[in-house]
Amino acid sequence: MKRVEAIFPLPYFEIDAAWNIVAYSQEAEELFGLPDNLTKIVDEGTYDKAREWVDFHHRKTVIEMNVIKENSDVILADVYITWTDEEKAELLLIPKDSQVDKVAASLKTLQSELLKTKTELIEEKERAEQVIEQNNKLSAPFISLNKETALVPLFGDVSYEKMMSVEQNLLSAVRESEADELLFDFTAVGDIEKEGFNYLASVIKALSHMGLDLFVIGLRPGHVPNIFKWSLPEDVRFMQSLEQVISNKRTRRDNERIRQKET
Amino acid sequence: MTGYLLEGEEQEALQLVQKWVGERSLLEVHEEIITPAMYHVGELWQTNRISVADEHLATATCDYIMTLISPRKGTSNGKKAIFFNVEEEEHHLGLKMAADIFREEGWESRFLGTGVPDDHVLQQIEKFCPDVICISAALSYRVPEMHNIIDVLKKRMPGSVILIGGRIVKNHGMNEWNEAHVHTMSSLTAVKEWLQNVKEGRRQ
């Protein structure tokens, strides 16, 4: 193996049919060290391609190859191959423009920055989802007004997700309380979505099966068409406001007292 | 399909793929359409008919299409999996396909992709707490790095289930890797079968 002066200031190799390196240029040594066989600098993914193309039956050809530098970095190069006879080939390697490498490197940096941002966004999204879930759970608090009556004011839009989050808390609060009258207050409800409403209707139905008297109060004109179109269980009664429910109760109680006095 | 990928004609390629998405399972779309198209791209480079630049464009186009057909909505099974390449490994399409197969089965997949340094990967794993960790590599000189990351994971997260895929499995066989909690996946079909076994309680 000898060092030769190549015409061009580029990595250059002379090899035999078994790919043994017979001669090399100074530039080749600087880039690849002193490999004794071409196999040593051909990257694994390029090997089959090189086997096919660095062969006497392709007398004069140029191929792209991934080659391994002395420091183990893999670089892409155009390799010009000329076989002078069956036993000797000359290879001139032109590494792909370093400008391209620079662009590729900055693209990679951008890509990993984007990836980082994406991950952060996912984390933020998860946090926001937790907040929404928590918010949803708090959107239908169970408030005991007295021994037999409880109020459930609904807040915000009636959506499927919200009703799903609310259901568990509501059912267990009902189970634990002695209330036999439940007032669903729609005063602070925004939009009513169909899926959300259907879910709420199924919860109300379950409560009605548990033997509770159910009232819906505080409906706004905007709610009414949808509520009637999608319909709640039949035994649910509608009242205008909490005030009306309380005054009705008072009247009923007063009447009962009067009746008791009379008897 | 290969033609569209090489020309970077993502809209045409997408239309073609979407037609198949409607008619076949995601596994079939990946294994019978996208994978062969990308193998063909590789063959064209091997036979000196295209350059690495063409190959990169095809990969980017393919990546874009896969993102668009990725299953995002479905019933969640509450399980989580994380996917990443060993450091410096660039071949990521197969891993991305595996992440989608997991998603299709109701898993929450987090795909970290390529070029993510190990410490960042570990940080992500600790935060995300996945049920399964999926690692991929193609080239054989990544073998030491693969062993290294498995060792680190075993120390930092003992008992976690690790799946290994990519060409490294095909070239190095299963025995190189198989041990307690580490399983090799030789194909997407193998991934699908593994998931099926987990679902039926025969695995994990």
The verdict on B84 and B36 lying in the same domain is no
Are A214 and A236 spatial neighbours (Cβ–Cβ below 8 Å)?
yes
* pLDDT tens per residue, range A76-109: 999 999 999 999 999 999 988 766 667 777 777 7
Tell me, yes or no, if A53 comes closer than 8 A to chain B by beta carbon.
Answer: yes
Decide which of B44, B69, B94 is a domain's last residue.
B69
The verdict on B146 and B183 lying in the same domain is yes
Contact residues, chain B, for A96 at CB < 8 Å: 52
What is the rounded CA–CA span in Å between residue A109 and residue A113?
6
* pLDDT tens per residue, range A167-184: 888 888 888 888 889 999
Is B204 part of any domain? no
What CATH number is associated with residue B26? 1.10.1240
Reduce the DSSP state of residue A158 to 3 states and report it: strand
The verdict on B114 and B93 lying in the same domain is yes
The verdict on B8 and B98 lying in the same domain is no
The verdict on B116 and B171 lying in the same domain is yes
Going by their DSSP bridges, the two strands B132-136 and B80-85 should be labelled as parallel
| Residue A67 dihedral angles phi and psi, to the nearest 5° | -120, 150
**pLDDT tier at A234, thresholds 50, 70, 90:** confident
Tell me the nearest-neighbour CA distance from A115 into chain B, angstroms. 7
The verdict on B24 and B112 lying in the same domain is no
- Please indicate whether, in this complex, the C-beta atoms of A115 and B116 are within 8 angstroms of each other: yes
Is B20 part of any domain? yes
The verdict on B13 and B59 lying in the same domain is yes
What is the rounded CA–CA span in Å between residue A89 and residue B181?
51
User: Which residues constitute the domain of residue B57?
Assistant: 2-69
Structure tokens at A72: 């183990």
The verdict on B10 and B31 lying in the same domain is yes
Nearest beta carbon to residue B48 from set A63, A119, A122:
A63
Show which of residues 86-105 on chain A sit within 8 Å of chain B, judged by CB atoms.
96
* CA A181 vs CA A104, A143, A227, A249: distances in Å: 70, 12, 21, 12
CA atoms within 13 A of residue B97's CA, in its CB half-sphere: 27
Residue of A nearest to B138 (CA): A45
* pLDDT tens per residue, range A44-88: 889 999 999 999 999 999 999 999 999 888 889 999 999 999 999
Residues 6+ apart with CB under 8 A from B57: B5, B6, B8
Neighbours of B100 (CB within 10 A): 24
Are B146 and B135 spatial neighbours (Cβ–Cβ below 8 Å)?
yes
Is B120 part of any domain? yes
**CA end-to-end distance (rounded Å), chain A:** 128
Is B37 part of any domain? yes
Structure tokens at A206: 């379950």
Residues 6+ apart with CB under 8 A from A263: none
The verdict on B113 and B27 lying in the same domain is no
Contact residues, chain A, for B139 at CB < 8 Å: 44-45
What sign for the dihedral angle of Cα A255, A257, A258, A262?
A: positive
Is B118 part of any domain? yes
**pLDDT tier at A133, thresholds 50, 70, 90:** confident
* CA A71 vs CA A67, A94, B42, B46: distances in Å: 11, 18, 27, 25
Would you state the pLDDT for residue A150? 92
What CATH number is associated with residue B128? 3.40.50.280
Q: How many domains does chain B have?
A: 2
The verdict on B63 and B90 lying in the same domain is no
Choose among A81, A96, A80, A53: nearest CA to B47.
A53
Decide which of B69, B96, B127 is a domain's last residue.
B69
* CA A11 vs CA A3, A51, B183: distances in Å: 11, 20, 44
Is B123 part of any domain? yes
pLDDT tens over chain B, length 204 residues: 888 888 878 888 888 898 888 889 999 999 999 999 999 999 999 999 998 888 888 888 888 888 888 887 677 888 999 999 998 888 899 999 999 999 999 999 999 878 778 888 898 899 889 999 999 998 888 888 898 999 999 888 888 899 999 988 877 766 666 677 888 998 999 999 999 999 888 665
Tell me the nearest-neighbour CA distance from B124 into chain A, angstroms. 9
Reduce the DSSP state of residue A94 to 3 states and report it: strand
Are A77 and A10 spatial neighbours (Cβ–Cβ below 8 Å)?
no
Is B51 part of any domain? yes
What is the rounded CA–CA span in Å between residue B161 and residue B181?
5
* pLDDT tens per residue, range A34-47: 999 999 999 988 99
Decide which of B34, B69, B104 is a domain's last residue.
B69
Is B12 part of any domain? yes
Burial status of residue B24 (CB atoms within 10 A of its CB: 0-12, 13-18, 19 or more) = middle
Are B55 and B38 spatial neighbours (Cβ–Cβ below 8 Å)?
no
The verdict on B9 and B104 lying in the same domain is no
Tell me the nearest-neighbour CA distance from B166 into chain A, angstroms. 14
The verdict on B102 and B146 lying in the same domain is yes
Residue of A nearest to B89 (CA): A74
